[in-house]
Chains A and B, each alone.
Chain A
């Protein structure tokens, strides 16, 4: 898929600086997101890759305002389409989320309300955010279903979610998300619960819609392969921090953070004949054993004494890497 190279107008569509999300608990504070900074321009596709506990889903839910007690969120800056989300009132945020910013989730079967038909749920969005009346909403709903590749829209409109397959439900979710022509679509593991052949169809659909509507997209996944299909830039997260951001075309061949490299090496697809897979020793830090310096240092193959201090973020254009000794850099280890 060749997405047209994004234009870079002066102001980014989405700008998050130093986002922190903490979950206080009996055993201490869990830093689910620790100083996340991201920028996204209109029409651009960003992939976020990370394993469980990396904070990728929590960060996007914080952006959408979906976090609930006991999460504590703060950020230096959170701007979307020129609006300051931190200063916005609850009503203003509600107006943005679902209309200009849409999100689709992992399990399509549980993301749709099982008690209502597809038509009802689609029309709800249209009537709420675009003020359509019932007839216009239903006609638009049929158009949307056709747009997401569902044939036989008339019967599908009156179906209940349990009558549809996983792939079909996900298409309905996507239709709901694009109903208001959002500027940003956040897809949180949209294909993880689907079969591989259906996954390919859904990814293709997302890429196509993104091109056609010119929306920006954030694609979250634990699967590097999925992200590499659609994204232009990829951010890698570990233990709540963004450890690397790089163009998709170069990330997989020349990763700059040791975690990215280790993750790539652990993939069975890359083992090609080797008897054993490369593994990452140790475990993701929990509440009680969070290092004071670089978070990946206890497990890093390239660790040095300097790594006991928090790692600096090196930025170069749209790329960044949070490491004392980035790989594949002139003068650094390769």
Chain B
């Protein structure tokens, strides 16, 4: 892949937001659940942006918006130069082909009643006029690329292990040669040794095909290995965003620090991180706090944090949303 291709921006997200209306019966106004608020990023070809956060942080909703599975309620999304909002039918269809998704659960992402060959041919059948023979050849090629034997094409999904199913899911995502692959926790359900195989496969494919990845995960070890940039989310908001090495080596946001401290690492006993462990639980997204969303659990929270929501601002080479960040930066 040439250097000009490598720097090409594949996806640009600006102030993406998603608010769900939860009906509460006929007589009450629906509750508003803000799943994602004001998230912006861009990914270039051959690069991986990892979105980390715990349950309820909105990363899965973000993934679905970027994969065009759900329309955002706010913000803009541009895929390979095409603006998605308000795009015409054909432009939208083309945009759909440039982004595909790999799901978390290897046991639910393949239709149990279809053979692998059928599953992999479907995207080609729907979107192209390629003849049957050529379709079959492309499918065989893709299977080989993800490390599966060609004769598996006649088997049903339940004949395969979790790792193999993820390979099939990856193959399906690549059938239309997308520029961006959104991977929603693709290795979380797999054993460590299988996880390593799938991560290697993803990296090999990225190198060979120049793919951009939006990689959702809660596992910081995996993220540290595979990502180029990291975006840390909490309750739908971006807490910290920037180059992976910078964030992992010198995290500034209290939430990022707590995440890193909580991750079990070999040989580091529990007691040593006593002071960094978070107390309490994540607040309900139906009633987000007025100020910083993290203030209720933040060990460094001040009264300003409770009242005023911090904006995402550059600091020490990354973007961070924290009032106390500058102070924290001075004293690690």
Please, how many angstroms separate the alpha-carbon atoms of A230 and B271 in the complex?
A: 10
Number of A-B contacts (CB under 8 A): 114
Flag if B270 contacts A207 (CB, 8 Å): yes
Tell me the dominant secondary structure on chain A's binding face: helix
B277 touches A201 (CB 8 A): yes
Contact A196 to B277, CB < 8 A, known contacts A2-B271, A207-B270, A230-B270: no
- Quick check: A1 and B270 within 8 Å, CB to CB? yes
Given contacts A195-B218, A204-B277, A280-B193, contact A252 B225 (CB under 8 A): no
Q: Which residues of B contact A77 (CB under 8 A)?
A: none
A277 touches B225 (CB 8 A): yes
B265 at the A interface (CB under 8 A): yes
| 8 Å CB interface, B224-241 against A | 224-226
- In the complex the two chains form, what is the Cα distance from A263 to B269 in whole Å? 20
B69 to chain A, nearest CB (A): 24
Known: A51-B191, A228-B264. A201 touches B221 (CB 8 A): no
B73 is an interface residue with CB less than 8 A from chain A? no
How far does the alpha carbon of A334 sit from the alpha carbon of B236 in the complex, in Å? 48
Asked if B203 contacts A228 (CB within 8 A), the reply is: no
A199 to B278, CA, bound (A): 10
CB distance from A200 to the nearest CB of B (A): 4
B218–A203 CB distance below 8 A: no
Residue of B nearest to A193 (CB): B55
- B192, A195: Cβ atoms closer than 8 Å: no
A222 within 8 A of B: yes
Q: Is A275 close to B, CB under 8 A? A: yes
Query: Complex formed: what's the CA distance from A246 to B267 in Å?
Result: 14
Specify which chain A residues have a CB less than 8 angstroms from the CB of B195 in the assembled complex: 266, 268
CB closest residue in chain B, given A276? B200
Interface size class of B (residues with CB under 8 A): 35 or more
Partner of B54, one of A196, A263, A267, A269: A196
B161, CB-defined interface residue at 8 Å? yes
State the CA gap A226–B219 with chains docked (Å).
13
> Does B51 make an interface contact (CB < 8 A)?
no
A107 to B195, CA, bound (A): 22
Given contacts A196-B218, A225-B264, contact A268 B270 (CB under 8 A): no
Residues of B within 8 A of A201 (CB): 277-279
Q: Which of B54, B55, B218, B264 contacts A229 (CB 8 A)?
A: B264
A199 touches B264 (CB 8 A): yes
Contacts A51-B191, A266-B195, A269-B221 hold; do A197 and B278 have CB atoms under 8 A apart? Answer: yes
Interface residues of B in 47-80 (CB under 8 A from A): 54-55
Min Cβ gap A204→B in Å is 5
Question: Do B281 and A198 touch (CB < 8 A)?
Answer: yes
- Distance to closest chain B CB from A296 (angstroms): 12
B269-284, CB under 8 A of A: which get 1 and which 0?
1110110011101100
Contact B281 A268 (CB under 8 A): no
Residue B87 CB within 8 A of the other chain: no
Taking a contact as CB atoms closer than 8 A, the residue among B200, B218, B265 that contacts A269 in the complex is: B265
Shortest distance between the CB of A196 and any CB in chain B (Å) = 5
Residues of B within 8 Å of A27, CB to CB, are: none
Among B226, B258, B270, B281, contact of A203 (Cβ-Cβ < 8 Å)? B270
- B257 CB to nearest A CB, Å: 11
**Interface assignment of B82: CB less than 8 Å from any CB of chain A:** no
Of residues B200, B226, B270, which shows the largest number of chain A Cβ atoms within 10 Å of its Cβ?
Answer: B270
Beta-carbon contacts of A245-280 to B below 8 Å, as 1s and 0s? 000000011000000001110111111000111111
Determine if B197 is an interface residue (Cβ-Cβ < 8 Å).
yes
B226, B264, B279, B281: the one contacting A165 at CB < 8 Å is B281
Given contacts A1-B270, A276-B200, whether A197 and B54 have CB atoms under 8 Å apart is yes
Chain A: which residue is nearest B55 at the CB level?
Answer: A195
**Chain B neighbourhood of A264, CB < 8 A:** 266
> Which residues from chain B contact A52 at a C-beta distance below 8 Å?
191
A176 CB-CB contact with B under 8 Å: no
A124 at the interface (CB under 8 A from B): no
Which chain A residues lie closer than 8 Å to B274 at the CB level?
204
Asked whether B196 is an interface residue with its Cβ less than 8 Å from the other chain, the reply is yes
Shortest distance between the CB of B201 and any CB in chain A (Å): 10
Cβ-closest chain A residue relative to B207: A275
Which residue of chain B is the closest to A164 with respect to CB atoms?
B281
Question: Does B258 contact A197, Cβ atoms closer than 8 Å?
Answer: yes
CB distance from A107 to the nearest CB of B (A): 13
Interface status of B43 (Cβ within 8 A of chain A): no
Q: Which residues from B are CB-within-8-Å of A230? A: 270
The verdict on B176 contacting chain A, using a C-beta distance below 8 Å, is no
18 extra interface residue pairs, beta carbon distance < 8 Å, beyond A1-B270, A2-B271, A252-B267: A165-B281, A168-B281, A195-B54, A197-B262, A201-B277, A201-B279, A204-B277, A223-B264, A226-B264, A229-B269, A268-B196, A268-B222, A268-B226, A276-B203, A277-B199, A279-B193, A279-B197, A280-B196
19 A-B pairs in the complex with CB atoms less than 8 angstroms apart: A1-B269, A1-B270, A2-B271, A51-B193, A165-B282, A196-B259, A197-B258, A198-B281, A203-B270, A204-B270, A204-B274, A222-B192, A224-B192, A252-B266, A263-B193, A267-B192, A268-B219, A269-B224, A277-B200
